[in-house]
Structure 1
């Protein structure tokens, strides 16, 4: 099958991307699905910092690669052995293909699936290898088992969750990364309860999804922290009780006054060791810091280690929101339909495939929350 797709051949291009054009729209060949795989027509695909980190080189991945991982689509073909899905089903993608058999999967932690992580690191599908070939017949890598910036994709059946076909694709796409990661970090990793205090550092798509999850969970007080005034205003509109710019506040003192000693939960979504240390510093005795940001692999965390013991504080990582996608996507979508998780308010821009480079400029400059490519 001939497919138009956004291909990244080299990372580290100079900004603005609208001029350097790191993503090129190419006509590529897509092989039919192998056993346990499906072909999906992409209906909508979101732009995420995880894509941007591959473009700028802070998260090295095998290249060349068809980029994109946050998406919704419609199944058009089934490979052998796929018996629980049907042509015409609508799906949301998970950026970790879940084998269901390894030790993490068997113990209820599929976000840490070992074969899934290995396949993602190699730029392959869960079943091995690539289904992409460029015009010269050379293989292209898959991004996180999805490669959503394309008209059609072949993925493992283990990379999708079936959803109601009435869910708007541009909204459904957001559930695959921003919502699954952000809301999941609050309800699965932190396990925030009503009346517990939460501070969210960084108000991109994942951070604001975390804020929505904390608001839905009844967090109080709920504090939003960012250097972007517009995003602070959005956070207040979405349920934050306080919005703080760390450059103009003595953050530790301010938060200790607001929360009578420090927050119970601090969530960091920036991908910065410095910000993560700052988030840790504002938690109270017995408090928990959750990190969902993805810094460059060489970054380190500097904290007063003794406080981990003497104050019984906790630092936790959260990948894919510590989610079980087949369980959490339906319940998060149900909360959206009930008006308790207004994910639609995170969508700020709708793009064409040809607009991707400009969209990533906008994302890098903090001028967008969630942008979505729509396919006809």
Structure 2
């Protein structure tokens, strides 16, 4: 199959043929239709986060089931599906207590003694990225790494739900548990931040404050439900939020992954408020908060993939889109063929897009 292979950090992807295996008993072969270019991938491309290379990256994908293993019960050939990097086993402590996104069971992956799912040109085994490796014509994945959706959902928009939208909306609804009428600030208006803004609107937040340094993204934030915007390039963000809300917000969501913005999120809370970190903070970075403020019952917490229960959540998000409540059309800045993947990552580095989607023409 054709795939985009990364051989070294900070180098271009190479489009070439990669060998893919046959489905095992619990595995599904998916023909990829569309895959989003997510900022999480950029961390690996630029070497901020390590990963064994060469590799096929990509984790925000949607497609059509081609083959299923003998024990697969959740999908069948012809089903339209969304993949998810938080594959779950279904029977560990995390899964049995409803925290599927925290599952770390190795059984959704092939073992070292098993035939690899992917082989690089020349036959060398490849480590599968996030259980998925979506920058390719096909994915071979565990059945608990995808969910079937309705056939009238456009697959290019469905792909966005697989990571960015699920992460942003889930962080609001599941991790932060935003209640109707509460005030929300979102720092960073990329794909995940815009999804968090949309999620806050869906949750009935009374005031939604979008914060970014780019005017174009702030305008987009209004489209997604922001009631107020703050240009971080020309304002004291914390002071501006406190002034707008009369003392601070109930919820601050950080969607960038920087030390400064995480600390700002905590500082802009009112008493009893919660700061939720959605962005990926690089390894080794320490966050500083004023310990005395913990006496005001302020909380700082992380969110992994929106604390999702994706087999339930993603079909519901599809229904939200189909009923006009979830904004996905507005999020797609560009649709590109797989061969232009390096161009899509250049756009991402410049902050020029909310989301680029790679379309695989079969």
TM-score bin (small chain): over 0.9
Cα deviation, residue 237, structure 1: 2.3
User: Contact between 1:223 and 1:243, CA under 8 Å: does it hold in 2?
Assistant: yes
Which of 316, 324, 327 is the equivalent residue of 2:309?
A: 324
SS at match of 1:66: coil
Structure 2 residue 8 is matched with structure 1 residue 10: yes
Q: Which residue of 1 aligns with 2:297?
A: 312
Q: How does 1:65-144 map to 2 (within 5 A)?
A: 65-115=55-105, 126-129=109-112, 130-144=116-130
Distance in 1 (alpha carbons) for counterparts of 2:233 and 2:190: 18
SS at match of 1:296: coil
Which of 272, 286, 289 is the equivalent residue of 1:303?
A: 289
Could you tell me which runs of 5 or more consecutive residues in structure 2 were left unpaired when the two chains were aligned: none
Structure 2 residue 316 is matched with structure 1 residue 352: no
User: Contact between 2:2 and 2:17, CA under 8 Å: does it hold in 1?
Assistant: yes
Cα deviation, residue 250, structure 1: 2.2
| 1:271-326 alpha-carbon deviations (Å, 9 max, x no partner) | 11211001111011110000010121111101112211x11001111111001001
Q: Which residue of 1 aligns with 2:239?
A: 253
Could you tell me which runs of 5 or more consecutive residues in structure 1 were left unpaired when the two chains were aligned: 14-19, 120-124
Distance in 2 (alpha carbons) for counterparts of 1:79 and 1:156: 9
Which of 45, 54, 60 is the equivalent residue of 2:44?
A: 54
Distance in 2 (alpha carbons) for counterparts of 1:174 and 1:236: 20
> RMSD of aligned C-alpha atoms?
1.2
| 1:53-88 alpha-carbon deviations (Å, 9 max, x no partner) | 100011111211111000001010111211332110
Q: Which residue of 2 aligns with 1:361?
A: 346
Distance in 1 (alpha carbons) for counterparts of 2:128 and 2:189: 28
SS at match of 1:266: strand
| 1:243-276 alpha-carbon deviations (Å, 9 max, x no partner) | 1112311222221121111000000010112110
Q: Which residue of 2 aligns with 1:122?
A: none
User: Contact between 2:169 and 2:200, CA under 8 Å: does it hold in 1?
Assistant: yes
SS at match of 2:19: strand
Distance in 2 (alpha carbons) for counterparts of 1:215 and 1:6: 37
User: Contact between 2:54 and 2:120, CA under 8 Å: does it hold in 1?
Assistant: no
SS at match of 1:243: strand
SS at match of 1:91: strand
Which of 278, 301, 304 is the equivalent residue of 1:292?
A: 278
Q: Which residue of 2 aligns with 1:180?
A: 166
Structure 2 residue 10 is matched with structure 1 residue 27: no
TM-score (norm: length of structure 1): 0.93
| 1:69-128 alpha-carbon deviations (Å, 9 max, x no partner) | 00001010111211332110110001111111111111110100021xx58xxxxx5233
Q: Which residue of 1 aligns with 2:151?
A: 165
TM-score (norm: length of structure 2): 0.96
Cα deviation, residue 52, structure 1: 0.5
Q: Which residue of 1 aligns with 2:217?
A: 231
Distance in 2 (alpha carbons) for counterparts of 1:235 and 1:46: 19
User: Contact between 1:127 and 1:156, CA under 8 Å: does it hold in 2?
Assistant: no
| 1:304-362 alpha-carbon deviations (Å, 9 max, x no partner) | 12211x11001111111001001111111111111111122111100111110110010
User: After the TM superposition, which segments of 4 or more aligned residues of structure 1 sit over 4 Å from their partners?
Assistant: none
User: Contact between 1:33 and 1:39, CA under 8 Å: does it hold in 2?
Assistant: yes
- What number of residue pairs does the alignment pair up? 358
Distance in 2 (alpha carbons) for counterparts of 1:84 and 1:362: 37
Distance in 2 (alpha carbons) for counterparts of 1:25 and 1:261: 52
Q: Which residue of 2 aligns with 1:221?
A: 207
